[in-house]
Amino acid sequence: MALKIEIYSDVICPWCYLGESRLKKAVEALPKTTEVEIKYLPYELNPATAEAGVDRKKYLEAKYGPRIKESDQRLKSLGHAVGIDYNFEKAERIPNTLKAHRLIWFADQKGLQEKAVKGLFKAYFTDGIDIGDDHELASVASEWGMDNAEVLQFLKSGKGIEEVRALEESAYNLEITGVPFFIFNGKAAVSGAQEVETFSGILNQLADSSKQDR
């Protein structure tokens, strides 16, 4: 019986990137015989963001003031511990992430969801790519095996919008107000970028329970 993990996150959320990476470290430490299924679900932190995005520096300084520099430095240190290279200075804009979530949904239809999520996190936080731009998204998607022209056609079509909105509605029904948010086997829920040890404890407990149920 596989351990099933659902992760609600947004690709412009640095804590989501950190939390997902910490979880993966915990998963890697499990016995090789343990099956783990991970499903990524959409959650837009700023759904009202203009399609063209907003200036990242101005937006964050207006919202958090000088604390943002300290936060960025802390995240860089925490990210380094799990192999994340945060280059916040490279990201000039905070994009509207609906297109990115649609692309993740589309990639899932091809069995490439995990690669899509990791690819988009890296594209934004390490490479500073505008993941709200159709052509940039198509270029990034080609790196994990998707066809550039097919992705462009998909993004321009408007397909996937209803499906992504429906998945987001499930988050609102669960009264999720912040991400990352992790659901284990449909029951145990954890919010925030927990430590690797915390995730390991949860996964090991669930793995032991599944053995006893057999």
Domain ranges of the chain: 3-213
CA angle 7, 9, 15 (to 5 degrees): 110
Distance CA 98, CA 155 (A): 10
Rounded percentage of the chain residues whose pLDDT exceeds 70: 97
CA neighbours within 13 Å on the CB side: how many for 203?
28
| pLDDT score recorded for residue 103 | 98
| pLDDT score recorded for residue 75 | 97
pLDDT tens sequence across 11-66: 999 999 999 999 999 999 999 889 999 999 999 999 999 999 999 999 999 988 98
Q: Phi then psi for 74, rounded to 5 degrees?
A: -65, -45
Confidence of residue 168 (pLDDT cuts 50, 70, 90): very high
Q: Does the predicted TM-score (pTM) go above 0.85? A: yes
Q: Token digits for 205?
A: 């407990």
pLDDT tens sequence across 178-196: 999 999 999 889 999 999 9
Task: Give me the chain's average pLDDT, please.
Answer: 95
CA neighbours within 13 Å on the CB side: how many for 167?
21
- Do 37 and 69 meet the contact criterion of CB atoms below 8 Å apart? no
Q: Which CATH class is domain 3-213?
A: alpha beta
